[in-house]
Amino acid sequence: MSRVKVAFLGAGSFVFGPTLLAQCVQENRISGLTWSLVDRDFESASLMAGIGRRMAEAAQVDAEFTAVRDPDAALAGADFVVCSAAVDINRRFQIDREIVSRVDSQELITEFGGVAGLMSSLRQMTLISDIAARMARVCPNAWLLDISNPLPRVCQAAHDEGLQTAGFCNVSVCGYGKLYEIFEGEQTSYPFSEAQALYDLQMGGTNHLSWLVDVRDRKTGSDLMPSLRNRLDERKASVPSKCEEYGRRTGYLLMSGDAHVQDFLPIDGLESSIDWVTHGSYEERAARLKLLSDVSEGRVSIDQLKPQPSWERPSDFIEAMVQGTDATFTSLNLVNTGQISNLPLGLFVETEASIRNRALTPDSMTLPESVLPYSLLAIEINRLIAETFHTKSLSKLVEVIDLDPTIVDKARGREAAIECLAAHADVIGTYD
């Protein structure tokens, strides 16, 4: 059997690197894979290659791991390209934070919404566009499996370059925990097994703005939506939750959690900005790097490496396509070919999806009329950001700012954006 090549870009990721390898080698036990690991920090990629080899040896799985400096060499002949890479993410985000906080102290600073989210999008789209151009030369038929944010915008940029692209984000699975809390009065944690055993549900929309449109008792098939709406009304006075508030307003619960939906909805009552967009401080990353080095070089047992939890599972996608197994994804970001009938075609949407006999099929649905305006606004902002990126148009960027409901002071938003553009011109180029 011929070997399958996986190029892993951003393999030195604090979370995704060891987690993806552990999923593919230790959990899914996918044999016959040849891994090319790439990271701007070659030392990290080399350590991860050593980690992969030790995992494969311990699990008795046939897998090869090599750290590669040249991205073209890593991508050449790849069947799958997993991307968790980012453009100097910590330092660049702190530049945005300083500028936006100084120009408009009232604006939320997140990796999706507002000026900071717009700048993060343009940087990541620039990176993925370069990757896509390389892939078009050396592995045009490969799947790009993206786990880097802002996910639908990164995926859109890759798709616009002609790549078959899937985006992995399981934030909406948190909705199972919310349902369990509402119905059972108790907290539960990932993977929310208790809730998934009780409820059969359908959800979808756009990334980080997924709506629960149907929920049924898994054993009896009875419709739980009327009961859910009653419970939401009962909790109005005692549980301050933006997702629940929009659930009462529309009749359909938001599944992604307040910290994520604040990037797309008006900010009334929301006060939290994020200080760090990556997993782990510099000190935590340094300690993690030492542990990876010790494990890679055999100084400590492989059992000492406990990968940070990552809910995204491109490993299941690779296994299903390589070995012909079945796979179901609670939420998968794919270009809309009609799976959400009342959202625009050609843009990325999020639904459940499955792979059967190596055929990928997204769940089909229609969003309720009451939630449609919110999803249409989010997907239109994504479309405009893609157009801004492709045209390098300052006027299009202003359109994004004017449309984004999380930017309340449009004049200050434009001022902050122009200053941020100048600060990142070495990465994203000139917009005029």
Assess whether 77 and 58 both reside in one domain.
yes
What are the Cα distances from residue 284, in Å, to 15, 38, 85, 86, 290? Answer: 11, 21, 19, 18, 10
Assess whether 354 and 291 both reside in one domain.
no
At which residue do the structure tokens 């789209």 appear? 125
Assess whether 357 and 284 both reside in one domain.
no
Residue range 280-297: average pLDDT? Answer: 72
Does the pLDDT of residue 265 top 90, yes or no? no
For 304-331, write each residue's pLDDT tens digit.
Answer: 776 556 678 999 999 999 999 999 999 9
Could you tell me the pLDDT band of residue 218, with boundaries at 50, 70 and 90?
A: very high
Residue range 168-184: average pLDDT? Answer: 94
Could you tell me the pLDDT band of residue 268, with boundaries at 50, 70 and 90?
A: low
Residue pair 60/29 in contact (Cβ under 8 Å)? The answer is no
Does the pLDDT of residue 31 top 60, yes or no? yes
Percent of the chain whose predicted confidence (pLDDT) is above 90: 77
Is residue 140 included in any domain, yes or no? no
> Into how many domains does the chain fold?
2
Taking alpha carbons only, the member of 156, 171, 165, 172 closest to residue 124 is 156
Does the pLDDT of residue 274 top 90, yes or no? no
Q: Which residue has the higher pLDDT, 5 or 108?
A: 5
Assess whether 335 and 288 both reside in one domain.
no
CA distance 314 to 167: 9
Could you tell me the pLDDT band of residue 419, with boundaries at 50, 70 and 90?
A: very high
- Provide the pLDDT for residue 247: 96
Cα 331–chain centre separation: 10
Is residue 76 included in any domain, yes or no? yes
- Provide the pLDDT for residue 270: 44
CA distance 169 to 350: 9
Is residue 19 included in any domain, yes or no? yes
Residue 353's domain comprises 326-362
Assess whether 357 and 286 both reside in one domain.
no
Is residue 194 included in any domain, yes or no? no
- Provide the pLDDT for residue 306: 65
Residue pair 63/31 in contact (Cβ under 8 Å)? The answer is yes
Average pLDDT over the chain reads 92
- Provide the pLDDT for residue 308: 59
Assess whether 75 and 42 both reside in one domain.
yes
Is residue 63 included in any domain, yes or no? yes
- Provide the pLDDT for residue 141: 96
Residue range 409-427: average pLDDT? Answer: 97
Please, where are the H alpha helices in 206-353?
225-234, 242-250, 258-261, 282-296, 314-323
- Provide the pLDDT for residue 310: 66
pTM beyond 0.85: yes
- Provide the pLDDT for residue 57: 92
Percent of the chain whose predicted confidence (pLDDT) is above 70: 94
Assess whether 357 and 283 both reside in one domain.
no
For 51-86, write each residue's pLDDT tens digit.
Answer: 999 999 999 999 999 999 999 999 999 999 999 998
Is residue 40 included in any domain, yes or no? yes
Is residue 94 included in any domain, yes or no? no
- Provide the pLDDT for residue 266: 73
Assess whether 331 and 350 both reside in one domain.
yes
Task: Please return the burial class of 49, using the count of CB atoms within 10 Å of its CB with bins 0-12, 13-18 and 19+.
Answer: buried
233 token code pair: 């009304």
- Provide the pLDDT for residue 296: 74
Could you tell me the pLDDT band of residue 390, with boundaries at 50, 70 and 90?
A: very high
- Sequence-distant (6+) residues with CB within 8 A of 364 are 338, 339, 341, 351
CA distance 425 to 423: 6
Is residue 339 included in any domain, yes or no? yes
5 token code pair: 């090549």
Assess whether 66 and 29 both reside in one domain.
yes
